[in-house]
Amino acid sequence: MKSQHLQDTALRYFLEVVRCGSISEASQRLNVASSAISRQISSLEDALDTVLFERKPRGMELSAGGEMLAAHARKVALEADRVVADLQALKGLRSGRVRLASSEGFAIDFLPRLINAFQKKYPGFVFQLFVGAPAAVSRQVREGNADIGLTFARLPEPEIKVVHRQPGPISLVMRHDHPLARFRQVSVSQIRAYPMALPDPTTTLRQLFDIACSRQHVAIEPVMTSNYIQSLHNYLLDNDALSITGEVTVRYRIASGELTIRPIRDCPSDGRFVEVQTLAGRTLPRSVEIFLDYLVADLAKDL
């Protein structure tokens, strides 16, 4: 890549060893001799008078000093990428690359549809999407593997800038003609009369729902649990079962009339938030900023 010309060779080699966890794997990925990589890392250690790695039987593990240099090296690499992208934008190229990290709820319908609509406006843009748990999303942003993170969050994350934050309350989701759909909001006591299909207990969504049930002294035994949200939502279509979700997750299925949501009276509205995250201190390429503005505008349009 052109941005490699703007980065110090020793830092590039160091960062690849960090990513791979070993010199031999970094050698294969860079197509550079292992001895050359070792020399560059030794040179860095001598110059900084710091041991950067602890050599272990299963690979290389960063020392405390190595962690500090890795954070710096990632920002150098990202800045080089930004400069190259912005230089190309000066030529009038309507293109760009956007790397996204997202929790599952946004990746089912919301992001694919949003990306498709954006690419109709900017056909030269390409996207890379990582899907994982909220902590993994923030880690992808923090380590420079993603430009933008989209996730549900409850607590601040280190080295993360929150570009946009909005409430992500828990809602009850059901088929559009469910008996509870006639109510504007429902209580936990109303819910217990129907079978429940719930997310895995490790999810924030489920944990907050369980807390609300506990406070109301209501015990709910789900008839189905899954770590895959779409399976839960599809399960609701042919019976009177209920599930829980966030509005953005089912926004398009609500618009199509397939599903509907109702607020749960006993669940706090400020229990979790939708966050758009970037790396603190990083200047984003103009192409990424264009999509970031588009994303935030679409998220907030129904607030």
Count of alpha carbons within 13 angstroms of residue 38, beta-carbon side: 7
Determine which of 1-10, 217-226, 282-291 has the lowest per-residue pLDDT on average. 1-10
> What was the pLDDT predicted at 7?
54
pLDDT at 1: 45
72-103 residue pLDDT tens:
777 777 777 776 666 666 555 567 889 999 99
Average pLDDT for residues 197-209, to the nearest whole number?
90
pLDDT digits (tens, 9 = 90+) for 21-65: 888 888 888 888 888 888 888 888 888 888 888 877 777 788 888
Q: How far apart are CA 263 and CA 183, in angstroms?
A: 10
Decide if 1-77 and 94-165+272-303 have a common fold.
Answer: no
Phi/psi of residue 165, each to 5°? -140, 130
The pLDDT value given to residue 225: 95
| ∠ CA 296-301-303, rounded to 5° | 105
- Residue 262, strand partner residues: 172
- pLDDT tens, 206-265? 988 999 899 999 989 999 999 999 999 999 999 999 999 998 999 999 999 999 999 998
For residue 215 the two structure tokens come to 């406070």
The domain 171-263 having CATH identifier 1.10.760.10: the answer here is: no
Burial zone of 192 (CB within 10 Å; 0-12 exposed, 13-18 middle, 19+ buried)? middle
Kindly indicate whether the domain formed by 1-77 is annotated with CATH number 3.50.7.10. Answer: no
- The answer to whether residues 274 and 248 touch, using CB atoms and an 8 Å cutoff, is yes
Where do the domains of the chain lie?
A: 1-77, 94-165+272-303, 171-263
209, 225 contact by CB (below 8 A): no
The class (CATH top level) of 94-165+272-303 is: alpha beta
CB contact set of 34 (below 8 Å; sequence gap of 6+): 23, 24, 27
pLDDT of residue 5: 39
Listing DSSP states for the chain in one string gives: -GGGGGS-HHHHHHHHHHHHSSHHHHHHHHT--HHHHHHHHHHHHHHHTS--EEEETTEEEE-HHHHHHHHHHHHHHHHHHHHHHHHHHHTT--EEEEEEEE-HHHHTTHHHHHHHHHHHHSTEEEEEEEE--HHHHHHHHHTTS-SEEEEEESS--TTEEEEEEEE---EEEEETT-GGGGSSSB-HHHHTTS-BEEE-TTSHHHHHHHHHHHHTT-----SEEES-HHHHHHHGGGSS-BEEE-TGGGHHHHHTTSEEEEEBTTS-TTS-EEEEEEETTPPPPHHHHHHHHHHHHHHHTT-
Higher-confidence residue of 103 and 270: namely: 103
Convert the pLDDT of each residue in 131-177 to its tens digit: 999 999 999 999 889 999 999 887 888 889 999 999 888 999 999 99
